[in-house]
Amino acid sequence: MIIYTHNDCFKKFNGQGHPERKERLESIISSIKSSNLKVDFKDAPLADLETISLVHPKEHIEQIFSNIPKEGIIGVEKEPYADTLLCSNSKNAILRSCGAGISAANDLINKNEIAFCAVRPPGHHAETVRANGFCFINNIAVSARYLQKQFEVNKIAIIDFDVHHGNGTQEIFYKDQSVAYGSSHEFPLFPGTGAENETGVGNIFNATLKAGLTSKDFFKIFDQKVLRPIDKFKPEVILISAGFDAHKKDPLANINLESKDFFKITKNIVDIAKIHSKGRVISFLEGGYDLQALSESIIEHLNGLKSHI
């Protein structure tokens, strides 16, 4: 298994007290290094604008980059969502977070190797022409489009177990039958989308979770409303938006998953990939804001991914 990351991803600074901080990635990487998991670390390359434009218009990305300040931090959205921020080191962090997924797609198809993209900023809130929710480029969406264009993969499923709804991923694929999007998320919660009657062209599967939900109830809902429809869809590749903020310790949400639950979630996804997708999965880091929960959950997740063999 490959872990894509890069030093540039540690350099994006969102200001003191911001939950999306470099310590998240430090905690993940040190936890992987001190585990007995056999992984290869690879540097995430910079994504090229041409590939990004499979999802986002070039002018939109250029506009974001033109707002990058020489010093200090500026927001790209107005109140009350003024927490999607750019600092002077943002450009390469954004491009490498996307580049990780492109490179992982190449490894998956050419070498049958699976990867986890340990990158920041995350991507699932980024819409076609709107950065929000700490996200600028929708890393997983670019990877999906790249797999379709470069390798003629027809049907791709994106499974998103971050506690927040991936409004960006849903918006990008809302009318696209070739991509199924299944998401479990606390509802109501930021970003406010993801109601169960948002079904796209029959390709969107939203599972809403009530605040205070326990593991047992989570798995019932996740199985019925996300895994079963994805299983029926028979994807050729499964991409995972892996957020760990449904953990009971997470400060941004109110779902009560335990660290070990992330093994079971991942294993269940991989089991579907084994049936329909030759075990082909790529996982992308999205949210997760409690460092202890992250360092434990990531090992569970990677052990689950490993079960693809």
Within a 10 A sphere around the Cβ of 132, how many other Cβ atoms? 18
Contact set for Zn ion, span 257-296 (CB under 5 A): 287
Minimum distance from CB of 162 to Zn ion (Å)? 4
Nearer to Zn ion, 6 or 165 (CB): 165
Minimum distance from CB of 149 to Zn ion (Å)? 28
Nearer to Zn ion, 194 or 243 (CB): 243
Nearer to Zn ion, 17 or 251 (CB): 251
> Residue with CB nearest Zn ion?
287
Contact set for Zn ion, span 196-255 (CB under 5 A): 243, 245
41-78 burial: b if 16+ Cβ within 10 Å, else e: ebebbebeeebbebbbeeebbeebeeeeeeeeeebbee
Within a 10 A sphere around the Cβ of 224, how many other Cβ atoms? 11
Nearer to Zn ion, 185 or 276 (CB): 185
Minimum distance from CB of 112 to Zn ion (Å)? 30
User: Is 125 among the catalytic positions?
Assistant: yes
Instruction: Give, as one character, the DSSP assignment of residue 47.
Output: P
Does 164 bind Zn ion (CB under 5 A)? Our answer is: yes
For residue 236 the two structure tokens come to 């050729």
Does 124 bind Zn ion (CB under 5 A)? Our answer is: no
With CB under 5 A, what is the number of residues at the site for Zn ion? 5
Task: Check if the beta carbon of residue 76 is closer than 8 Å to that of residue 58.
Answer: no
Q: Of 8, 127, 162, 236, which lies in the binding site for Zn ion, with binding defined by CB under 5 A?
A: 162
Q: What angle do CA 258, 160, 91 make, to 5 degrees?
A: 105
User: Rounded to 5 degrees, what are φ and ψ at 166?
Assistant: -85, 75
Amino acid at 14: N
Minimum distance from CB of 20 to Zn ion (Å)? 9
Does 168 bind Zn ion (CB under 5 A)? Our answer is: no
Q: Which one of the listed residues 60, 125, 185, 308 is annotated catalytic? A: 125
Rama region for 178: left / alpha / beta (φ>0; ψ in -120 to 50; rest): alpha
* Residues of the shown chain interacting with Zn ion in the complex, contacts defined by CB under 5 A: 162, 164, 243, 245, 287
Question: What positions carry a catalytic annotation?
Answer: 125
